[in-house]
Amino acid sequence: MPHVDAGMAAGTEAGDLVEIAHAKVNLALHVRHRRADGYHALESLFVFAEHGDLVSGHARPDGMLNLRLDGPFGPALDSGPDNLVLKAARALQAYIGEERGASLTLTKYLPVASGIGGGSADAAAALRLLTRLWDVPIGRDELERIALSLGSDVPACLFSVTQMVQGRGELLQRRTVEGLDGAPMLLVNPGVGISTARIFAGWDQVDRGPLAARDMEQLIVEGRNDLEPPAVAEAPVVADVLAALRSCVGIRLARMSGSGATCFALFDTESQRASAAASVRSAHPGWWVAETRIRAA
């Protein structure tokens, strides 16, 4: 996953606006209960990688929307009306009450259905881009309401900063945890897609307590991902990824992100991360491995 300068994105046309859809990582994910509306009440600490997908585009005078897919994981997606980028565009059109047009490109560097918020981050990036492109006067609360209508993780992805996320994703609190900003991070996906709905359905419905993240040590010792057991049952290779990461020298924390199958590891130094990446790539050449850092708040 290359680190792309948003102003020099490959495949964009001169004058295109560009937004980076930063990969979302759940450093911890506690499932508390199932709500009356069918959603699960969650507590999660979200951080964002410096890397991600790219959404770019320019205005069309005819009021039409079109989406082109590019990048290594572009072929895994459909550019039709169910794509979250186009859903985001239509939602913003509905808000402003007119069909302004745009030609959009999604350059997909993140694996699909991988637990790092790829689709949600893409939708959020599309909202950011189109509010600029169409000069939409919209407040933060209203933009978050539109984002939530697109998916539970989309509001948090709008600003891509470290935050505590609660409810189904509508309760956001910016959070500073010493030592996280700029921390070297390794992302590994074994190449399997996992259904979020199936993983939540497999949760054992046991409330193991709230999430506290006063500092990194508490996050490591008391944090967890309650979706890891059902994900491992669905895709046992997730356990292999975690074992590979936890055997690396210099590791501070390794967990699964979201509903999987991507797992992450945090390190003290970039050299430790690089050595771990080389080791994982050598042992598992078919896995997707990305060296990145936690985006500063």
Known catalytic residues are: 24, 153
> Residue 189's beta-bridge partner residues?
288
Q: How far apart are CA 72 and CA 113, in angstroms?
A: 14
> Which amino acid is located at 130 in the chain?
L
Nearest CA to 107 out of 186, 51, 146, 185 is that of 51
SS (H, E, C) the chain: CCCCCHHHCCCCCCCCEEEEEEEEEEEEEEEEEECCCCCEEEEEEEEEEEEEEEEEEEEECCCCEEEEEECCCHHHCCCCCCCHHHHHHHHHHHHHCCCCEEEEEEECCCCCCCCCCHHHHHHHHHHHHHHHHCCCCCCHHHHHHHHHHHCCCHHHHHHCCCEEEEECCCEEEECCCCCCCCCEEEEEECCCCCCHHHHHHCCCCCCCCCCCCCCHHHHHHHCCECCHHHHHHHCCHHHHHHHHHHCCCCEEEEEECCCCCCEEEEECCHHHHHHHHHHHHHHCCCCEEEEEEECCC
Q: Is residue 26 a contact partner of residue 264, using CB atoms and an 8 Å limit?
A: no
